[in-house]
C-alpha cells in the first residue's frame, strides 16, 4: 500500500538512477503541463513529505507527484521502453543524459512549482516522522485538537500526522490495544505518536522490514489485523473483523480489528467526514 514509507523507499530508488543526471527530453502528459519542458535541468533531490514526492531540479523547479493507490514510477535502461500495454497509463517521461528513461504511470496531482514555493502544495501537511524536521510535540498537539475524533480518523488525517496510511493506522490501533473508533483523546497520544514514528522509520529504513508489523515476514503473519478478516487473531485466536469504507470518505476507510484484543466502540459510532 502506498504510504509514507512506500514513497520514502521510492525516493531512494529513484536517487540511484536519476540523482545528478540531466534531463535531455521531457514529456508531461497532463493538459496543464503539456507545454512545460524540463530539458537541460539537473535532478538535485527526491524529497518526500508524507505520501507526496518532490523531485527537485536545478533552476528552482520542483515536480510534485502523488501516488495515491495506483501510481508508480519506473526506470528503464538505455534503449529500453515500457511495454506497449502500459503506454496509455504514462503521465510523465524524463529521458536522462545517461540514456535511461524515467516513467511516471497513473501519477496524481502532478504539478510544477518553484522549489521556494513548495509550501503552496504541501504546507497543509502535518509533521512527517521520516523527515529531518519531524516534530513529535506538534504531531501530538494536532492530534489532540479534537479529542472526540476516532483514533483511525485522526491518524488518517494528513494535516495532523503525514505519512500514515490505512495499513499503519489499523495496525497501530491493534498495537495500542483499543478499538479503532476509540476517541483519540482517551489514549496516550504521546506514546501513540512515538510508536507510529518508530514503526514508519523501521519499515522505511531497515532491509526486509517493509510494512511488516508483527516481526514475522511469513505470508499471512506479517500484519496483526490488516487484510486478515475472518482469520484468527495472531494473538488471541478470535476472528478478525472488517468493516467496509464509507463511500468518498477518507476518514472512514476499510477497517480491521480484533474485538477481543481491541475493546471499545464499534463501527456504528463512525463519524462521517
Active site amino acids: 2-3, 51, 253
CB neighbours (10 Å) of residue 78?
Answer: 10
pLDDT > 90 fraction of the chain, expressed in percent and rounded:
95
Q: Is the pLDDT of residue 9 over 90?
A: yes
Cell of 251: 476518514
Q: Which pLDDT band holds residue 2 (cuts at 50, 70, 90)?
A: confident
Q: Is the pLDDT of residue 68 over 90?
A: no
Integer Cα distance of 212 and 218 in angstroms = 9
Buried b (16+ CB within 10 A) or exposed e, 238-253: eebbbbeebeeeebbb
Q: Is the pLDDT of residue 215 over 60?
A: yes
Check: CB of residue 234 under 8 Å from CB of residue 245.
Answer: no
pLDDT tens sequence across 150-177: 999 999 999 999 999 999 999 999 999 9
Please give the pLDDT value at position 1: 56
Strand order across the 101-105 sheet:
23-28, 90-96, 101-105, 72-76
**Range 197-215 average pLDDT:** 96
C-alpha of 237 from chain center: 30
Amino acid at each position: 500500500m502506498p504510504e509514507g514509507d512506500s514513497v520514502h523507499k521510492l525516493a531512494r530508488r529513484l536517487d540511484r538512477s536519476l540523482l545528478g543526471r540531466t534531463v535531455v527530453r521531457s514529456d508531461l502528459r497532463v493538459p496543464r503541463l503539456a507545454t512545460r519542458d524540463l530539458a537541460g535541468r539537473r535532478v538535485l533531490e527526491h524529497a518526500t513529505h508524507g505520501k507526496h514526492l518532490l523531485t527537485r531540479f536545478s533552476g528552482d523547479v520542483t515536480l510534485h507527484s502523488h501516488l495515491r493507490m495506483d501510481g508508480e514510477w519506473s526506470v528503464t535502461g538505455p534503449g529500453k521502453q515500457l511495454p506497449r500495454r502500459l503506454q496509455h497509463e504514462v503521465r510523465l517521461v524524463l529521458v536522462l543524459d545517461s540514456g535511461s528513461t524515467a516513467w511516471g504511470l497513473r501519477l496524481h496531482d502532478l504539478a510544477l512549482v518553484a522549489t521556494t514555493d513548495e509550501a503552496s502544495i504541501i504546507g497543509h501537511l502535518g509533521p512527517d516522522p521520516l523527515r529531518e524536521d519531524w516534530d513529535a510535540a506538534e504531531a501530538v498537539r494536532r492530534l489532540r485538537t479534537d479529542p472526540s475524533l476516532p483514533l483511525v480518523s485522526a491518524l488518517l488525517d494528513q494535516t495532523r500526522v503525514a505519512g500514515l496510511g490505512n495499513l499503519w493506522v489499523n495496525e497501530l490501533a491493534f498495537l495500542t490495544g483499543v478499538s479503532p473508533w476509540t476517541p483519540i483523546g482517551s489514549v496516550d497520544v504521546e506514546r501513540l505518536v512515538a510508536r507510529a514514528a518508530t514503526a514508519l522509520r523501521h519499515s522505511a529504513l531497515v532491509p526486509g522490514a517493509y510494512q511488516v508489523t508483527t516481526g514475522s515476514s511469513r505470508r499471512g503473519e506479517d500484519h496483526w489485523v490488516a487484510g486478515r478478516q475472518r482469520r484468527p487473531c495472531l494473538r488471541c485466536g478470535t476472528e478478525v473483523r472488517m468493516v467496509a469504507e464509507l463511500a468518498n470518505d477518507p476518514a472512514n476507510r476499510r477497517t480491521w480489528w480484533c474485538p477481543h484484543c481491541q475493546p471499545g466502540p464499534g463501527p456504528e459510532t463512525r463519524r462521517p467526514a
